Structure 1
Amino acid sequence: MFFKTHGKDNTSPKSIRTRLLANFIIVIFISVLIFEALLIYFTHFYFYNNVESILTNQIKTTADLYSQYYSNVPLEVNIVDNAEIFWKQTNAEVQIVLFSGEVILDSKGIIYKDLLQSEDFKSALKNEKGVWIGRNNSGERIMAVSYQLKSDSGGVGVLRFLTSLDEIDAIIMNISLIFICIGIFVILIAIVMSILLALSIVRPLKVVMEAAELMASGNLEVRIKKDKNDEIGKLADTLNYMAMEIQNRDKVKNDFISMVSHELRTPLTSIRGWADTIIDDGFNDREILNDGINIITKECDRLTKMVEELLDFSRFISNKDELKKEETDITLIVDYIRKQMSKRAIKENISFSVTCEKVPPIYLDRNKIKQVLINLIGNSLQFTSSGGSIALKVFAENDWLVFNVEDSGCGISSEELPFVKEKFFKGKTSKSQTGLGLTICDEIIKMHNGSLTINSQLNVGTVVEVRLPYKLEN
């Protein structure tokens, strides 16, 4: 299977408008056709059923009249003496037929040589009402209704009413033509509406397509105006969001390159400068040599830390870093942090206190939480002057394990505070570095389904609170 990866397609496929219009017309045509067929069918059914009902009522009335008042006289005698009783109830043609099929009376005076064998006659022989639609000898469409005549001794013959259907068929034809004209008019109106509907769908799609082509060509400043909150509007929002995200990622990439270049240049310049100084001095001045080696060592540590942060950040954004949770006695982590960070605090003349209440064991990634606490306390040490204080407090609160890191450092301004956890944010102070430490800490805590909040006042101090849930232990 091959996919076209770039460039415009030069082929000429059917446009969406053409396909929509064709589909609309097909659906409308089929719907109107079915509806017309149903209308014509029910019209035909209504008129024919009405004629049949009238003939049935008339023939039953005549048959009942014969049974009540004339059945004591033979049928042949009634035909001669009382023939009018058979057709005075109807305007239809009347026939009297013997069971043998011989027509012995016809109100139109027609003489039948052949025996009658129609379906309605056969039904009447079975003492059932018989109905037959067909053509007579002259080609005229007729409906015939047959009913058995009875006397006290049983059936004596068959009474048959016949009526022409030509006028009914003409009426049905006229009504059908009216329905067909209405159907054609409806189809024409529907085609016009379909064209307008197709245009209402295609025009915004065309706008979206043109904007997408501009975005694909590199113009990420273009934005699609959303007219309606439908699927096309959501597509426009998605493309606008995509363009904005690409712009943001480009900005992050550029900021990253700029930040890394700057952060690498400073220690590398220092290392190169002191290396040249040591080489030029020829190892004669021991003090210069010691100072140079100490500065080079510090700058190498700084570079190492920055590279580790970048590697951690890379793993987080690529979702390759997974937690290794295990049941943990939190006092072991707190003791480790106390021992590791106390030496640096003493060296920098900063008071460092640790308070840990008795808390239940919790499931967490020990190394990740150590990394978070070391980073948070390291930040406090970095931004707290000599003579200041830092306090780590650990306690349980309802279903949460809480870590509080409080310092008396320089604090963070209200303008910078909302952004300190963002990637590559660097504060205005000279001590600010890559801006990844808090971002990584925040991601680790989120992976534990916890929260990391920072409250700070400039020239007063900073309080960082980390909350980890006890409920989600596995």
Structure 2
Amino acid sequence: MNSIRKRLSLNFLTVIFITIAIFETLIISGTKQYYYKNIEDSLTNQVKASSEFYTKYFSNSSLKENVQENVDVFWKQTSAQVQIIDTKGNILMDSIGVIPSEVIDDEAFKNALEGKLGKWRGTVSYSRHKVFSVTYPLKSNNKIVGALRFITSLAPVDKEIFAISLILSAIGFIALFTALVVSIFMSNTIVGPIKNLTTVAGKMADGDLKIRNKKVFDDEVGKLSDTLNYMADELLKKEQLKNEFISSVSHELRTPLTSIKGWAITLKTDELNDKELIRDGLQIIEDESERLTGMVEELLDFSKFVSGKITLNKEIIHIDILLDYIKKQMSPRAKRDNISFIVLKNDNIPAIAMDPNRIKQVLINLVDNAFNFTPEGGTVTVWTEVQNKYLILHVDDTGSGISEDELPKIKEKFYKGKSSKSKNGIGLSICDEIIRLHNGFFIITSELNIGTNISVKLPIEI
């Protein structure tokens, strides 16, 4: 596996190597141009001075005569190789005695015959080093009579440039080595926390949800560490809630089963002749069986919601139909518990698209919860209104209310409140899922010992 440390180090080194290479190339190129320009300027000044000297003092005689009589004048002021060339390209004099058989016909010589300075850099047959030359016209009575050429070897300059290049290369290698050490250190500051994070995540995946990662730096990796720790906290809470939920459901299932089994044993005895007792026993078995069926259906519903297998069967329906059903079904319970149950209708509510059975399930669950937490003499009110293209169903009660620390959690899966009247902790989470599938909102506000207000907002979209 190609590790992050290796990739980071290579990336650091690549960037630094390219930077150093560009930097050194620019320096070496600049140095080379600087030295060559100095040579060019020096030879140019010398050749112009010699040409002007010739024009001033030797223009009365022919070029050939001047070469024969005053040859040393041309190289007194320079250490360069000096050549004097006539207008036909013949070398009349060379300070080092190199007289080629062919005539001069290069671009620099042609520029000199046109009265301009000619420059050339390259190799010659009599030297293994590169040379640089400048060619300038010789004039007599404002007429070009030949050309003066100064030639100098570039060997000393190239040697200095090579030495500078070696020094810069050595500095570059030292910088690259230093960068390698620094890059390894820097990559460790990134890779180290990531390796720790990976180790902790692996242990969490194996089931150790109590382990936590230690944040080293307050950066992106540190934020990831905080997120991982937060995730572990949430998973631990969910695990605890799940265990409590299983324990609670097991207890609630055991109660009706125990009752059913007890009465079944009682009714099985041969000596039982009391018809009233038999009738009561069978009624209790029926009631407990119905309660057990309700709990199982709730669990099945919950399982479907969690797995995403619930689909809505929407139809256009008026909410008053559901309110009439809720009032009819829940009124006997309210009368039995001595609770004032009020259902208020609103004539301005339009019919909307909804799954009536699922919304009925939500209302029954909310009203049933309201009854559970409202004492005798209290009031449970169901009412509706339209607000900002939403139908809002309100279920208000004057019950015990919900504490501030519990309020954000009561819609969570498996959460069971602290009250002894709290059930298995999945009813409100199912309601929340149903409302979410309707693209609605589920809002709960409450004050301890004052009451709870629940709002179900459903979009009005026909």
Give the TM-score normalised by the residue count of structure 1: 0.82
Question: Deviation string for 1:218-276 (max 9, x for gaps)?
Answer: 43221111111334324433433443344334323322321221111011011111222
Alignment equivalent of 1:452, drawn from 429, 437, 443: 443
Q: CA contact under 8 A between 2:245 and 2:425: conserved in structure 1?
A: no
1:211 and 2:200 aligned = yes
Shift of 1:179: 1.3
Q: Unaligned stretches of 5+ in structure 2?
A: none
With 34-43 and 409-418 compared, the bigger mean Cα shift is at 409-418
1:264 counterpart (253, 261, 266): 253
Which of 1, 20, 23 is the aligned partner of 1:35?
A: 23
Structure 2 counterpart of 1:200: 189
Deviates most, 16-25 or 251-260: 16-25
Q: 1:393 to 1:90 in 2, by over 3 A?
A: same
Matches within 5 A, 1:55-134: 55-60=43-48, 62-63=50-51, 74-80=62-68, 86-87=74-75, 90-106=78-94, 108=95, 110=97, 112-117=99-104, 119=106, 121=108, 123-124=110-111, 127=114, 129-134=118-123
Contact 1:451/1:468 (CA < 8 Å) preserved in 2? no
Q: Is the 8 A contact 1:267 1:300 kept in 2?
A: yes
Q: 1:164 to 1:388 in 2, by over 3 A?
A: closer
- In structure 1, which of residues 49, 56, 64 is the aligned counterpart of residue 37 of structure 2? 49
Say whether the 8 Å CA contact 2:204–2:232 is kept in structure 1: yes
- Closer, same or farther: CA 290–351 of 1 in aligned 2, 3 Å: farther
User: Per the alignment, in what secondary structure is the counterpart of residue 356 of structure 1?
Assistant: coil
Q: Does 1:380 align with 2:367?
A: no
Aligned 8 A contact 2:86 2:145 in 1: yes
Query: Is structure 2 residue 411 aligned with structure 1 residue 421?
Result: yes
SS of corresponding position for 2:171: helix
Taking only aligned residues, the RMSD between alpha carbons, in angstroms, comes to: 3.5
SS of 2:424 mapped into structure 1: coil
Q: Does 1:314 align with 2:299?
A: no
| Cα distance, 1:410–1:207 mapped onto 2, change above 3 Å | closer
Count of aligned pairs between the two proteins: 458
Moved more, 194-203 or 412-421: 412-421
Q: Are residues 322 and 208 of structure 1, via their aligned partners in 2, closer, same or farther at CA, if it must alter by over 3 Å?
A: same
Deviation digits for residues 84-140 of structure 1 (CA, Å, limit 9, x no counterpart):
77557755332111244321123x262515234474555547746241332462545
What one-letter code is carried by the residue in structure 1 that aligns with 2:151? L
- In structure 2, what is the Cα distance between the partners aligned to 1:348 and 1:292? 24
| Distance across 2 between alignment mates of 1:360 and 1:21 | 67
Counterpart position of 1:9: none
Structure 1 residues without counterparts, runs of 5 or longer: 1-12
- For residues 416 and 198 of structure 1, the distance between their equivalents in structure 2, rounded to whole angstroms, comes to 45
TM-score by length of 2: 0.84
Is the 1:130–1:147 contact (alpha carbons within 8 Å) kept by the matching residues of 2? no
CA contact (8 A) 2:241 2:415 kept: no
Which stretch has the larger CA shift, 15-24 or 386-395?
15-24
1:287 CA displacement: 1.7
> Do residues 276 (structure 1) and 265 (structure 2) align?
yes
Secondary structure of 2:310's aligned partner: coil
* Cross-structure match for 1:8: none
Quote the offset at 1:367 in angstroms: 3.0
3-state SS, counterpart of residue 404 of structure 1:
strand
Given that 2:245 and 2:415 are in contact with CA atoms closer than 8 Å, whether structure 1 keeps it comes out as no
Question: Cα distance, 1:160 vs. partner?
Answer: 1.0
Q: 1:43 to 1:118 in 2, by over 3 A?
A: farther
Q: Does residue 390 of the first structure (1) align with residue 409 of the second (2)?
A: no
